[in-house]
A and B are shown apart, each in its own frame.
Chain A
Amino acid sequence: MPLLTVDNLTTSFRTDQGVVRAVERVSFEVPERTTVGVVGESGCGKSVTALSIMRLVPSPPGFIEHGSISFNGRNLLALSESEMCDLRGDEIAMIFQEPMTSLNPVYNAGSQIAEAIRIHKRAPTRKAAWARAVEMLRLVGMPAPEENARAYPHELSGGQRQRVMIAMALACEPKLLVADEPTTALDVTIQAQILELLRSQQERLGMSVLLITHDLGLVAEHAEFVIVMYAGQVVEQGPVAQVLPKPRHPYTRGLLASLPGRGLAPRMRLPTIEGIVPDLRSPPAGCRFADRCPMVLPMCTESAPELVKIDDHRKSRCLRWQEMSP
């Protein structure tokens, strides 16, 4: 049984212009000890999917309209808030893109980690919790962990703050880590350090990672499965080793083709996806990618295509997936 099963999840927001479905009928699984990447551009619903799993969608205006999220055999959407609090930070943890805004500026790094340890009763005394916090900082490669445990977030660099976040998330040895753009705000050499750290800790704890990112390169190097989202829907999903070399949706193919540095002659024009993402306040009736799609047919704009099964592992939301050969 997979560790996490998201089934037909629809998360919506009430706005002045009516209800906006930020995530619509999204289904996927995260097996144990596996990294699943969720990729897409801003506004595609990848972060809302992550927040829905954590039950952290701001409500109001947001609400989970439909679907189920089952983690380790329990339906997260049926849990009470206090049951969810016990789970959150303990069995499921999350790290965010901007560690400056997600750490509390008036507490030092060590006490924020120790707080998580105490809440989930992973240490008998405050002193033991502090010792464990320092130990976690050492584990995530923080230089001078004893001293830096007493440092406030503003005294740390971006990479060090992200290490604090990771130490906090891993302090209770979660089974699932939801990482929302964990390295986007960091420089490339620091990004490489943080990803290496996540990889080694994942191995040590045997945890699964749901990696939310806009960077297909990260998914190629760090995930086994990939979910491609566009305008609130999954458009393609499957094993990374199959989807990236042979995409079965024109959006995935277009995204891959538009990346510079993949064997294209220098200074050649890049293939682009023309146009912009549709407004989700009034989504198109047919395929959401139709007006930007180079393979569009009249029937694509008439009715919305379903996510169809290609084989046991792969799905595509395109009527013409069979015609796609790279």
Chain B
Amino acid sequence: MSTASEPSIVKPQTLIAADGLGKLFPGRSSWWGTTSSFVHAVQGVSLRVRRGETLGLVGESGCGKSTLGRLLLRLIEPSFGRVFFDGKEITHLSEGELRPLRRRMQIIFQDPYSSLNPRMTVREIIAEPLRIHKLVKNANEELERVSELLQKVGLRPEMMPRYPHEFSGGQRQRIGIARALAVEPDFIVCDEPISALDVSIQAQILNLLSDLQDSLGLSYLFISHDLNVVQHFAHRVAIMYLGHIVEQLPAQGMQMTARHPYTRALLSAVPAIDVGKRHLPVVLEGEVPSPLDPPPGCAFHPRCVRAIAGKCDTDVPPFEDVAPGHRLACFNPAPAGTIDLAP
């Protein structure tokens, strides 16, 4: 791969990058078996995650955020666009060529109940990646490594012979994290890792993830629908709507700096805990359109109070820089520093 073909998105501090990445899933098939429609899951997304950084990816169900996470890991094949990892394009690598890179990219899933094999002990679950990637020489070394990993995620080595059903949700999520860490990855996609957990356990897992990032220098793509969590945990946040990233900005202060009408609506829909700070949410009309038949122009325009007729419903807004580290795809963004969405 010549460096000349690499887009400007790939910089030395970039660990993983997507350039115009997209995925179409076949939708309904006609009677002859030809596919007549496509689900536009991810539509030409460009983003990058720097070394040691957490990029938060926020959106509602069906917006394509999980598909994007899997595209970056090449767990599913992109329909178009390119993926770069550590300065090298990996879009077209074969499974064999990808294998050594797989060790460096891992994923933790939302549901700690279905992502662990119920018939394997904790030791087998965590040792499996070690064996596949031949990272341990013998049983003794394996035992040592598994017990070290368990301690790293806050579990006790005595738990090794137990099965997943003997653990609580939070403990299972720790096992999933230990499994991801076993191969010493650089990049982890965290796909809603705390959504299935109780409030008091969520904070424990978030703290664990941030400690691990500090001590191991990990990069995270942190997928979530919870803006409060993402604002707290991520360095930068990308907001996704119907397959597009509509805004990307630093997490700190985004309450005031966010300008896309959809980001604003999401921010205002989060219930505020502090009594007295009650606000009237910007209630969005209607629901997310079907990705089988996305609207023309800006995908958000049918629900947008700031949409300009004759512009937003025909032209696709470009994803452009509006401030350092702040990119936006909107023809009529809300002014910075206001809660009001009025046009």
A residues with CB within 8 A of B: 41-42, 143, 157, 159-160, 187-193, 196, 214-218, 220-222, 240-241, 244-245, 254-256, 258-262, 264, 266-267, 269-274, 276
Contacts and interface: CB of A to CB of B under 8 A. Distances in A.
Given A220-B271, A240-B275, A254-B200, A261 B210 contact: no
B271 A218 contact: yes
Contacts of B202: 258
Interface string B287-302: 1100000000000000
A245 B275 contact: yes
A259 B269 contact: no
A284 B61 CA distance: 40
A220 B210 contact: no
B228 A259 contact: yes
A188 B224 CA distance: 12
B273 A256 contact: yes
A188 B269 contact: yes
A220 B265 CA distance: 19
Given A188-B266, A260-B233, A272-B200, A217 B287 contact: no
B287 A273 contact: no
B203 A220 contact: no
Nearest to A243: B275
B336 interface: no
15 contacts: A41-B199, A42-B198, A187-B225, A189-B60, A190-B287, A216-B199, A220-B272, A258-B199, A260-B206, A266-B231, A267-B233, A269-B211, A272-B204, A276-B168, A276-B201
A264 B232 contact: yes
A241 B276 CA distance: 8
A260 B202 CA distance: 10
A188 B198 contact: no
Given A221-B272, A262-B274, A272-B203, A187 B231 contact: no
B256 to A, nearest CB: 14
Given A221-B272, A241-B275, A260 B204 contact: no
Contacts of A190: 60, 287
Contacts of A220: 271-275, 278
A90 to B, nearest CB: 30
The 8 lowest CB-CB distance pairs between A and B, nearest first, are A217-B271, A260-B232, A261-B228, A258-B203, A187-B60, A41-B198, A270-B203, A192-B269
Contacts of B229: 260-261
Nearest to A254: B200
Interface of B: 60-61, 168, 170-171, 198-204, 206-207, 210-211, 225, 227-229, 231-233, 235, 251-252, 265-266, 268-276, 278, 281-284, 286-288
Contact of A217 (B210, B211, B231, B270): B270
B199 A266 contact: no
B252 to A, nearest CB: 5
A272 to B, nearest CB: 4
A12 to B, nearest CB: 23
Contact of A266 (B251, B276, B284): B251
Contacts of B266: 188-189
Q: How would you classify the secondary structure of chain A's contact residues: helix, strand, loop or mixed?
A: loop
A61 to B, nearest CB: 21
A193 B286 CA distance: 9
Contacts of A269: 207, 210-211
Contact of B273 (A241, A254, A262): A262
Given A255-B200, A261-B229, A269-B210, A189 B265 contact: yes
Contacts of A245: 274-275
B283 A192 contact: yes
Contact of A214 (B199, B228, B275, B282): B199
A274 B284 CA distance: 38
Nearest to A159: B287
A193 B271 CA distance: 12
A202 B232 CA distance: 34
Contact of B271 (A215, A254, A272): A215
Q: Of residues A157, A189, A261, A273, which shows the largest number of chain B Cβ atoms within 10 Å of its Cβ?
A: A189
Given A188-B269, A218-B271, A266-B252, A273 B200 contact: yes
A6 B274 CA distance: 28
A203 B319 CA distance: 43
Nearest to A217: B271
B170 A276 contact: yes
Given A188-B269, A262-B273, A269-B207, A41 B231 contact: no
B158 to A, nearest CB: 17
B200 A193 contact: no
A251 B274 CA distance: 17
A247 to B, nearest CB: 12
Contacts of A191: 269
B232 A266 contact: yes
A187 B269 CA distance: 10
Given A217-B271, A220-B273, A260-B231, A41 B200 contact: yes
B52 to A, nearest CB: 12
Contacts of A159: 287
